[in-house]
Structure 1
Amino acid sequence: MNAVERVTDQDLQIIKECLDAAVNGPFFPDWEFHTLMGFTRDEIGAIAASWPSFSDSDTQDDAVNNVLNMLLGYPHGYESRWHDYSNATLEQIVQTLARWRGDDDLDGTGKGTFERLR
């Protein structure tokens, strides 16, 4: 079972909002985006534009993992702007990421953020 099949319809919506927030929001500066995500803003934008389908499932899997992971763990300082992009809570994003990864024991701490990078 692939990651898209493993998540709920609500998870798919949360992931789409997170992808859009990463690309269009203030959360990640341009100069650091590729370093944090392992992808360019345009590459994440292409995945968001085709969501939930993408021609390369491994790339999509890594991009979603890294976007959700960085939204949870990167100290971007824009928490007050989050609801301009999504109604999902941090706990819902953690749960969505856990289902996406197929990881029942997801560590939601800062240490876990670095261990989850791909």
Structure 2
Amino acid sequence: MSALERMTERDLQIIKECLDAAVNGPFFPDWEFHTLMGFTRDEIAAMKASWPTTSDPDEQDDAVNNVLNMLLGYPHGYDSRWHEYSAATPAQIARTLARWRGDEHFDGTVKGTFTRLR
């Protein structure tokens, strides 16, 4: 079963909101975006625009993994602005990320954040 097939409609909405937050929000500085995500801001924006359709499932898999992972684990300092981009809580995003990855549990430690990087 693919990651997309494991997602609920709410999961798909959460992921789209997270893609938008990564692209349009204050969470990741331009100079560090590609290093954190493995993709440019424009590449993530294009994925968001066609979400959930993709011509490259492997690329989409890595992008979704990295965006959700970095929103949860990168110390961006903008937690108070999260509600401007998504109604999902960090716990809901963590559950969505775990389902996306096919993991039984979400490791919220720093080690877990680095282990999930792709």
TM-score, length-scaled by structure 2 = 0.98
> Partners in 2 of 1:94 and 1:10 — Cα distance?
13
Q: Is 98-107 or 86-95 further displaced after alignment?
A: 98-107
> Partners in 2 of 1:114 and 1:13 — Cα distance?
25
Determine the structure 1 residue equivalent to 2:69: 69
Are 1:96 and 2:96 matched, yes or no?
Answer: yes
> Partners in 1 of 2:108 and 2:97 — Cα distance?
10
Determine the structure 1 residue equivalent to 2:117: 117
TM-score, length-scaled by structure 1 = 0.98
Q: State the shift of 1:2 in Å.
A: 0.8
Determine the structure 2 residue equivalent to 1:108: 108
Determine the structure 2 residue equivalent to 1:42: 42
* Unaligned runs of at least 5 residues, structure 2: none
Question: SS at 1:54's partner residue?
Answer: coil
Q: State the shift of 1:108 in Å.
A: 1.5
Determine the structure 2 residue equivalent to 1:33: 33
> Partners in 2 of 1:31 and 1:74 — Cα distance?
15
RMSD over aligned Cα atoms:
0.6
Q: Percent identity?
A: 80
> Partners in 2 of 1:49 and 1:4 — Cα distance?
16
> Partners in 1 of 2:83 and 2:105 — Cα distance?
27
Q: State the shift of 1:88 in Å.
A: 0.3
Runs of 4+ in 1 over 4 A off after TM superposition: none
> Partners in 2 of 1:46 and 1:95 — Cα distance?
24
Q: State the shift of 1:106 in Å.
A: 2.5
Are 1:79 and 2:79 matched, yes or no?
Answer: yes
